Chains A and B, each alone.
Chain A
Amino acid sequence: MQDSHADDWLVIPLYNEATVIADVVTGALDVFPNIVCVDDGSNDGSGEAARRAGATVLTHAVNLGQGAALQTGISFVCEQPGARALVTFDADGQHQVADADAMVALIASGETAIVFGSRFLDGRTKPGFMKRTILTFAVWFTKQSTGMRLTDAHNGLRAMSVDAARGVHLQQDRMAHASEIVLQLGRTGLPWREYPVHVLYTDYSRGKGQSMWNSVNILVDLFFK
């Protein structure tokens, strides 16, 4: 917490998370004064809840998907004068602000430009068997398609310098952006590393999480452009 994060941004794609978003924003504002929520056409008042909690809210007129929302948030931060780094953060409260803080500190210190959060560098996170199988496949797939040896390919918690973020132009509007963003960040040629993070699997996030059907959709999206 040595750093004020005055020029750092949390980017939160937001779609129908009205019950939790206010708590997530309030909890993060102490550390990150700049939070941009991209309301992806929510119809449950999520955007208003985030705005009341103190976030900057951008609104998609229609629902486009998490990848599209992420890209809008990234483009927005890149336009902010003096912006230094950004963190992609989930709206459902499964990411820890302390992890995001530490990841940005690595970038601020100049040690690296890109930090991927990983659930599997230590034993804190306990995913179920099915989830572990799918994630193992995702790791293998990312290795094949990007050449980057990540231990956790589909972690939504990532920090990047604004220079790195300028190299991100997501075309995958839906869930397949997770592989795409790794690929595009890798192509910037900037130094990257992983950082152990803790992901909280609550009943709420589990209910909304990626199912196995979703991973089929992701693969189809990646192949049939």
Chain B
Amino acid sequence: MGGQAVLIQLILVAAVAVVAVLLTRSTAGARHQAIRRLALMAFVVAAVLSIAFPVWLTRAANFVGVGRGTDLLLYALVIAFLSYISTSHRRMNQMSRRITLLTRELTLSEARDRRAGADGGSAGTPRT
């Protein structure tokens, strides 16, 4: 059991590390999206298989050194949850970045309008 327990620990720690690194990195474009979708498809297939053949899950668990299939499922969920946090955190940041830029542009263009209005009122020049 000892050597195999290390295997699942290695896998889990590596997965957590990958998620942590993804958290600190800015997102790339099409490749990231494609990988995410492929991973989702693989997840669906794996889910169906584990439902249809519960024994396979247990066998896979035993292979990486985990006693029961349900435990493996729990570990996988933890990783999936962490990566979900990572993804949504990044999305939120991008979203608030956009809101900031939008609000700033609105504020500055209001100021420009006000000044153009003041100039136009006094000097009779057309507003731009």
A interface, CB within 8 angstroms of B: 38, 56, 58-62, 64, 68, 71-72, 75-76, 79, 171, 173, 223-225
B interface, CB within 8 angstroms of A: 23-24, 26, 89, 93, 96-97, 99-100, 103-104, 106-108, 110-112
Give the interface SS of chain B, mostly helix, strand, loop or mixed: helix
Distance A173 CA – B99 CA, assembled complex (angstroms):
11
Distance A68 CA – B89 CA, assembled complex (angstroms):
19
Distance A225 CA – B104 CA, assembled complex (angstroms):
20
B contact residues around A68 at 8 Å (CB): 100, 103-104
A60 contacts B96, CB within 8 Å?
no
| Cross-interface CB contact of B96 among A61, A71, A173, cutoff 8 Å | A173
A61 contacts B106, CB within 8 Å?
yes
B100 contacts A224, CB within 8 Å?
no
B contact residues around A58 at 8 Å (CB): 107-108, 110-111
A contact residues around B111 at 8 Å (CB): 56, 58, 76
Give the interface SS of chain A, mostly helix, strand, loop or mixed: mixed
**B105: shortest Cβ distance to chain A, in Å?**
9
- Which residue from chain B places its CB closest to the CB of A61 in the assembled complex? B103
CB contacts between A and B, total, < 8 Å: 42
A225 contacts B93, CB within 8 Å?
yes
If A171-B97, A224-B23, A225-B24 touch, does A75 touch B103 (CB 8 Å cutoff)? Answer: no
B26 contacts A59, CB within 8 Å?
no
If A76-B111, A79-B108, A225-B24 touch, does A64 touch B103 (CB 8 Å cutoff)? Answer: yes
- Which residue from chain B places its CB closest to the CB of A59 in the assembled complex? B107
Distance A72 CA – B103 CA, assembled complex (angstroms):
9
Q: B24, B26, B104 — which one has the most chain A CB atoms within 10 A of its CB?
A: B104
**A126: shortest Cβ distance to chain B, in Å?**
36
A contact residues around B112 at 8 Å (CB): 79
A62 contacts B99, CB within 8 Å?
yes
**A222: shortest Cβ distance to chain B, in Å?**
10
| Cross-interface CB contact of A173 among B23, B89, B100, B110, cutoff 8 Å | B100
B contact residues around A62 at 8 Å (CB): 99, 103
Distance A220 CA – B58 CA, assembled complex (angstroms):
39
Distance A38 CA – B100 CA, assembled complex (angstroms):
13
B contact residues around A61 at 8 Å (CB): 103, 106-107
B contact residues around A56 at 8 Å (CB): 111
B107 contacts A60, CB within 8 Å?
yes
B contact residues around A173 at 8 Å (CB): 96, 100
- Sample 25 A-B pairs with CB under 8 A, ordered by A number: A38-B107, A58-B107, A58-B110, A59-B107, A59-B110, A60-B103, A60-B107, A61-B103, A61-B106, A61-B107, A62-B103, A64-B99, A64-B100, A68-B100, A68-B103, A68-B104, A71-B104, A76-B108, A76-B111, A79-B108, A173-B100, A224-B89, A225-B24, A225-B26, A225-B93
